[in-house]
Amino acid sequence: MKRIFTLLAVVSLMLSCSGEKYGAGADKGASPVTVKDVYLDRSLHEGLVTLEGTIIGQCGSPDKCWFFMQDETGRIFVNLKPANFSLPAAMGKKVRVTGMIQGAKEGYQLIAQGVEVR
């Protein structure tokens, strides 16, 4: 009986740690990089990257097709439209995002393939 209770507690904890997934979801196995890394390390622009931070601004239209994410080193524009998915209102929530870095008018943007909202 004690083993069953322990197993249920572990499963419950694991489920509470996972967030809502959108698009392909964020890569759980990837080590996250910072916004500062994106600006300083051009090799990160050659493949998928994962960033973690807080949503500080979001598209106001019903489809919620983009947002700004901030970590301790800076902020970046996250574009959801190319992957054809949206995100419900999530201002102030923590996110983990996987995608590709692309040049933009003012710096860089992350073209998201998947998002996890925590």
In terms of Cα–Cα distance, which of 82, 83, 110, 93 is closest to 22?
Answer: 83
> What is the residue type of 1?
M
Question: Quick one: fold of 20-117?
Answer: OB fold (Dihydrolipoamide Acetyltransferase, E2P) (2.40.50)
- For the chain, which residues make up each domain, given as ranges? 20-117
pLDDT tens-place string over residues 21-53: 999 999 999 999 999 999 999 999 999 999 999
Contact 20, 117 (CB under 8 A): yes
DSSP assignment letter at 41:
-
Contact 44, 37 (CB under 8 A): yes
Angstrom CA distances, 116 to 2, 12, 34, 80, 108, stand at 33, 18, 16, 13, 21
pLDDT tens-place string over residues 87-105: 999 999 999 999 999 998 8
C-alpha 37/C-alpha 19 separation (Å) is 25
Residues 6+ apart with CB under 8 A from 107: 39, 76
Cut 0.85: pTM above it: no
